[in-house]
Amino acid sequence: MPEDAVASPFMFVVGCPRSGTTLLQRMLDNHPQLTVANDTHFITRAAKRVLRKQPRPSMTPELLDAVLAYRRFYRMGLGQAEVIYAAEDCPDYATFVGRLYTLRAQKKHKQLSGEKTPDFCRKMPVLHTLFPHARFVHIVRDGRNTALSTLNWATPTKGPGRWPLWKEDPLGTCALWWRWQAGTGLQHGRALGPEHYLQVKYEDLVARPEQQLAVIAAFLQIPYADEMANYHAGKTRHQPGLSAKSAWLPPVKNLRDWRQDMSPEDVGVFAGIAGDLLRENGYDCALSTPVQPVSDRVRRCLGWWETNRKA
């Protein structure tokens, strides 16, 4: 690859939370040439105020302090002295961040370094401006199964549980959340084009991991490696009560099934809110005749969105 194509950060795994981003991160991180950091968030959040004003901000002591202080930055696995060293003589923030990911790759004895932060599906234009060489792999999952997972994950301080609507209609809130996250990612991906963006369906990755990983490797222009599909080897734990993620299980088909686990009313509400996006991504979404409770919930949820999240 051209030298600028392997600059750090090399690639991003993005997607609506609870869509399989961790599964894909673990697969790619197990590639002999690639390390993928897990949910550090710091690139845009530590520089949030500056990035609002400048698409490619200069490096400053204040930015260095903000990165070091960011609560998830420790996941990069870099010491303070290394970070300060990386900031020396940096002309801009993008160069500084690139050096951090290069340091991470060196510490992992790998050539390439990337990041998995699901919410970056809404930050792709900002990240593309900072790192024009970077590639984005967007994993999309049936929103109804994403919602079932989100219902067990969100809290008043996490995910869509932070939205006031959650107390009134958690499932409707999940539908809005998925439509916002996944839909924004797809919109940004189309704008980036196939050279920089690849969409992968979670269901395909679980059903045919080797085949899908070969497609991803070709997009990233790295050789396919069996280690990706065997990411769980030597790490699987069998303690009772562990989730599939915590137990490091191999891909589990039908981990959640909205057809069995979601009430008919909730199915109708999700379709009323996000049915267009389901169909756009090839998911089965036969709409039944709306009944009053479904129509009322859909109207309330969409009205809340228009009032509170339109910007």
3-state per-residue secondary structure call for 263-297: CHHHHHHHHHHHHHHHHHCCCCCCCCCCCHHHHHH
Q: pLDDT tier at 45 (50, 70, 90 boundaries)?
A: very high
Q: Is the pLDDT of residue 66 over 50?
A: yes
Strand order across the 135-140 sheet:
34-38, 112-116, 11-14, 135-140, 197-201
- Residue 113 corresponds to which tokens in the numbers above? 């370094």
First to last CA, the chain: 40
pLDDT single digits (tens) 173-209: 999 999 999 999 999 999 999 999 999 999 999 999 9
pLDDT score for 288: 63
Contact 174, 19 (CB under 8 A): no
Task: Please give the pLDDT value at position 311.
Answer: 46
Average pLDDT value for the chain? 93
What is the structure's pLDDT at 217? 98
Rounded alpha-carbon distances, angstroms, from residue 123 to 3, 34, 201: 25, 22, 20
The pTM is what? 0.94
Domains of the chain with bracketed CATH: 3-308 (3.40.50.300)
50 has a pLDDT exceeding 90: yes
Nearest to 120 by CA among 13, 25, 251, 228: 13
Average pLDDT value for residue range 139-161: 96
Phi, psi (rounded to 5 degrees) for 135: -110, 150
- Give Cα 261 to chain centroid, integer Å: 24
**Residue 83 CA from chain centroid, whole number:** 25
